[in-house]
Amino acid sequence: VTAPAELAERLRERFPDLVAARGEVTVTVPREELLDSLRWLRRERSLSFDSLSDVSCTDWPGREPRVWMAYHLYSMRHGNRLRVKVGLPGSDLRVDSVTPDFPAADWQEREVFDFFGVHFDGHPDLQRIIMPEGWEGYPLRKDHPLGGVPTQYKGAFVPPPDQRGL
């Protein structure tokens, strides 16, 4: 295992936008360079980040970029961990899919698509994974209401219990 500071030094040359804090190393890349960056991180034998352990997403309404993708990498050879972040503008939520390179991303990207509505270009089967097909809305966006939402059933909307006039 490489010390985080050492790993940060090793990466800073290629990724100037780098943060090493609390024992974690995070690099931010433009979304056009995401695929190249991940491929490079895997290819470099001194790094060999060959395992994509998680793909996650956060929503920050009112900020730009609004949505941040986070790719969590792990090196089987060295035991290091690394986070790669990509910011997406709220008006254009799309990013290249990493599934063709990292098959582990398949369902993770479908989950992000399901909950945040981010489109992954090149994903082989981009459809909802947890919510029912045909469900409307992206429930983990911050502007989605926390409670009191109508029940959707086969295209019909049933209002929440306190609005049914029972």
Partner 1 sequence: VEEEARRGILTTTLGAIVNWARKQSTWPVTFGLACCAIEMMAAGAAHHDLARWGMEIFRASPRQADLMIVAGRVSQKMAPVLRQIYDQMPEPKWVISMGVCASSGGMFNNYGLVQGVDTIVPVDIYVPGCPPRPEMLMYGILRLHEKIQKRGTFK
Give exposure, 129-163, as e/b (b: 16+ Cβ within 10 Å).
beeeeeeeebeebeeeeeeeeeeeeeeeeeeeeee
Closer residue to partner 1 in complex, CB, 121/133: 133
Find the shortest distance in angstroms from Cβ 147 to partner 1. Answer: 4
Say whether residue 165 binds partner 1 (CB under 8 A).
no
Say whether residue 153 binds partner 1 (CB under 8 A).
yes
Closer residue to partner 1 in complex, CB, 65/150: 150
Written as one letter, the residue type at 136 is E
Find the shortest distance in angstroms from Cβ 163 to partner 1. Answer: 10
Per CB under 8 A, contacts with partner 1 among 83-142 are 130-132, 135, 137, 139
Query: Of the candidates 90, 147, 155, 165, which one interacts with partner 1 according to CB under 8 A?
Result: 147
Say whether residue 158 binds partner 1 (CB under 8 A).
yes
Q: Which stretch binds partner 1 (CB under 8 A): 50-58, 77-85, 94-102, 148-156?
A: 148-156
Query: Of the candidates 79, 146, 155, 165, which one interacts with partner 1 according to CB under 8 A?
Result: 146
Say whether residue 4 binds partner 1 (CB under 8 A).
no
List residues binding partner 1 (CB under 8 A): 130-132, 135, 137, 139, 144, 146-154, 158, 160-161
